[in-house]
Amino acid sequence: MKTVLVSSKGGAKADILFIGFFKGGKDLQGIKKIEPLFGKVLEAAIKKERFAGKPQEVFASFQPAYRHAAEVVVVGLGEKKDLKPALLRKIAGKIIEVAGTRKAGKIRVLADTFLGDVLEAKTAAGIFAESAMLASYRFLRYKTGKKDALPKFPETFELVFEDKNLAGELKRAVTRAEKIAKAVIYARDLNNEPANVMNPPRLVEESGKLAEEKGLRHTALDLTELTELGMNGILGVNRGSVTPPALIILEHGEEYKENGTVCLVGKGVTFDTGGISIKPSKGMEEMKFDKSGAIAVIATMGLVADLKLPLRVIGLAPCVENNVANNPQRPGDIIRMYNGKTVEVINTDAEGRLILADALAYCEKYKPDAIIDAATLTGLAHLTFGDKTCAILGTDQKLIDTIREAGEKTGERCWQLPLWDEYADAIKGNHSDINNTGDGYAGTITATMFLKEFVPAKVPWVHLDIAGTAYIGKNNHECPKGATGFGVRLFTEVLSNWSRESFSK
Ligand code: BES
Ligand code: MN
Ligand code: ZN
């Protein structure tokens, strides 16, 4: 899909014309001027209470005699003061859904009618371009046979903003939005791949290709190097797998070092069977998404390079498969981690924290100003928040607030949980320094307390538990069932505005 910006409603006819309409709107003069016949139809429909302008409500009318398109669709926007970015994303998704079911090739959106009291034109342009691409995403590479029953999404998405003076800034907003959407789609594509395809070696290959394309530095520590370094968190988890593990490292912006260094770390468990502490079979197929954090980091690195952000960013993705095929780790095993601390593996299903621990400790090498990690770490984060927000915890309140604000802006929201020292009691080791699980209570917090033991001293650090947001069980307005690409937009927003003010220490 291509977003095209135009400043006049002229030009060749589209397949559908979309017009925004606020709740209880009475003045149909504007619409009557643009599409006189449709204006009358809408007036009658409103009188007969067929349409009121409630958020996401649609009223469609088909008439080949219409000027702009044979079909005109008005979309309800609710109250003017309530039309915020989150709602506009849903509305953009609705537009794409309608267009998809009609198999429309070219749609025209009168963007000025979708602005309300709060939204700036450039914000709206960005949201339209981004959400339209994301809403029309489908993962179809394993579908054989006829695709007639599937929606067919428009090739051309024409956005009409009448103010010619805005052309420059709108164009910039759309270009940026398209780059972002492409990166999110890249993340979804990698993540929707099943574990028999997307294993650690394949992630090494894919991230290598991306690095080459975008001009990132790429390293992947292999089995031998991980062994030499003593990364027994990563090695221990992967012992039950027949494919080798890797620690993927992508580097951007060495030359911008003086502006700061941020390390992004993502959990890359390409499949989580639970190991010897095996998971119940129901829903286990979803554990192919246990690589979501790693993929969010990899995709973000590509985007950071694309956007040429003036900052040094290091992406680290420890990749393993948590399986029982080879010579797996057992409950009760005690391992010495990369930073020297010892861990008793009480539960082999608490594997994410083991691989992240080594990667977090390894960040020390880069002397970062801050570390942010993303991981599908605990089922409890999913149970607590559903798919609406991730859990955010960390050691630097300012950095947490920076990320939360970015979440509100991008729609990738974060809700904070406490990280008080008292929570460390639960993971005190018996015969080791630390246990890898607590007593079952406050599991999202105790998992984070575990990670904290491995974060280099005095480095501001924030952890995102994306277990609920990384993939969805049913289609929503801007994503079909499956991987969401969560984290790419959030990370990128944070990094795009990075300064000494983003964190406190
Ligand atoms: N990958 C899972 C967490 C998960 C569960 C993500 C459901 C998405 C949906 C993680 O490795 C795990 O198994 N966590 C355990 C921890 C427990 C053993 C302390 C969990 O949450 O049950
Ligand atoms: Mn697990
Ligand atoms: Zn896991």
Would the CB of 378 count as within 6 Å of ligand 1? yes
Residue 380 alpha carbon to ligand 1 centre in Å: 8
Would the CB of 35 count as within 6 Å of ligand 1? no
Are 302 and 170 contained in the same domain?
no
Would the CB of 376 count as within 6 Å of ligand 1? yes
Residue 471 alpha carbon to ligand 2 centre in Å: 16
Residue 377 alpha carbon to ligand 1 centre in Å: 6
Whole-prediction pTM = 0.97
Are 177 and 265 contained in the same domain?
no
Q: What CATH number does the domain containing 53 carry? A: 3.40.220.10
Which is the closest atom of ligand 1 to the Cα of 438? 19
DSSP 402-455: HHHHHHHHHS--EEE----GGGGGGGB-SSSSEES--SSTTHHHHHHHHHHTTS
In angstroms, the Cα distances linking 498 to 59, 66, 175, 343, 494 are 43, 49, 21, 35, 6
Domain of residue 73: give its range: 3-182
Local confidence pLDDT in tens for the 505 residues of the chain: 999 999 987 789 999 999 999 998 888 999 999 999 999 999 999 999 999 999 999 999 999 999 999 999 999 999 999 999 999 999 999 999 999 999 999 999 999 999 989 999 999 999 999 999 999 999 999 999 887 788 899 999 999 999 999 999 999 999 999 999 999 999 999 999 999 999 999 999 999 999 999 999 999 999 999 999 999 999 999 999 999 999 999 999 999 999 999 999 999 999 999 999 999 999 999 999 999 999 999 999 999 999 999 999 999 999 999 999 999 999 999 999 999 999 999 999 999 999 999 999 999 999 999 999 999 999 999 999 999 999 999 999 999 999 999 999 999 999 999 999 999 999 999 999 999 999 999 999 999 999 999 999 999 999 999 999 999 999 999 999 999 999 999 999 999 999 999 999 7
Are 309 and 177 contained in the same domain?
no
Which residues have CB less than 5 Å away from ligand 3 (the ion)? 269, 272, 290, 352
Q: Is 409 a catalytic residue?
A: no
What's the pLDDT at 505? 72
Which one from 279, 330, 336, 341 is the annotated catalytic residue? 279
Are 177 and 317 contained in the same domain?
no
Which runs of consecutive H residues, i.e. helices, occur in 216-367? 223-229, 232-238, 292-306, 352-362
Would the CB of 347 count as within 6 Å of ligand 1? yes
Q: Which of these, 61, 147, 127, lies nearest to 98 by C-alpha position?
A: 61
Beta bridge partners of 266: 374
Are 135 and 269 contained in the same domain?
no
Instruction: Tell which one of 295, 349, 445 to mutate to probe ligand 1, the residue whose CB is within 8 A of the most ligand atoms.
Output: 349
Q: Classify strands 69-76 and 14-21 as parallel, antiparallel or unpaired.
A: parallel
User: Contact at 8 Å (CB) between 177 and 124?
Assistant: no
In a domain, 105, yes or no: yes
User: Contact at 8 Å (CB) between 457 and 156?
Assistant: no
148, 164, 182: which is the final residue of a domain?
182
Are 359 and 493 contained in the same domain?
yes
In a domain, 411, yes or no: yes
Q: What CATH number does the domain containing 299 carry? A: 3.40.630.10
Would the CB of 353 count as within 6 Å of ligand 1? no
Residue 293 alpha carbon to ligand 1 centre in Å: 13
User: Contact at 8 Å (CB) between 390 and 466?
Assistant: yes
Which runs of consecutive H residues, i.e. helices, occur in 64-153? 85-102, 121-135
138, 156, 182: which is the final residue of a domain?
182
Are 137 and 271 contained in the same domain?
no
In a domain, 246, yes or no: no
Nearest bound ligand to the CA of residue 285? 1
What's the pLDDT at 230? 98
Other C-beta atoms closer than 10 Å to the C-beta of 24 total 11
Are 142 and 269 contained in the same domain?
no
In a domain, 234, yes or no: no
Residue 343 alpha carbon to ligand 1 centre in Å: 18
What's the pLDDT at 8? 84
In a domain, 226, yes or no: no
124, 153, 182: which is the final residue of a domain?
182
Q: What is the DSSP letter of 107?
A: E
Residue for token pair 């944070």: 494
In angstroms, the CA 402 to CA 501 distance is: 9
Q: Is 279 a catalytic residue?
A: yes
Residue 155 alpha carbon to ligand 1 centre in Å: 40
Which is the closest atom of ligand 1 to the Cα of 277? 18
Would the CB of 122 count as within 6 Å of ligand 1? no
What's the pLDDT at 270? 99
Would the CB of 348 count as within 6 Å of ligand 1? no
Which runs of consecutive H residues, i.e. helices, occur in 193-271? 200-214, 223-229, 232-238
Are 293 and 165 contained in the same domain?
no
Would the CB of 350 count as within 6 Å of ligand 1? yes
User: Contact at 8 Å (CB) between 467 and 378?
Assistant: yes
Residue 360 alpha carbon to ligand 2 centre in Å: 18
Which one from 108, 353, 404, 413 is the annotated catalytic residue? 353
For atom 5 of ligand 1, the residue with the nearest CA is 379
What's the pLDDT at 150? 87
In a domain, 358, yes or no: yes
In a domain, 361, yes or no: yes
Residue 416 alpha carbon to ligand 1 centre in Å: 19
Domain count, the chain: 2
Are 48 and 164 contained in the same domain?
yes
Query: Tokens standing for 350?
Result: 């608490």
Which is the closest atom of ligand 1 to the Cα of 289? 8
Positive or negative: CA dihedral 200, 205, 209, 212: positive
User: Contact at 8 Å (CB) between 336 and 354?
Assistant: no
Are 320 and 443 contained in the same domain?
yes
For atom 7 of ligand 1, the residue with the nearest CA is 379
In angstroms, the CA 105 to CA 122 distance is: 25
Instruction: Tell which one of 282, 319, 378 to mutate to probe ligand 1, the residue whose CB is within 8 A of the most ligand atoms.
Output: 378
In a domain, 239, yes or no: no
Would the CB of 290 count as within 6 Å of ligand 1? yes
Are 175 and 276 contained in the same domain?
no
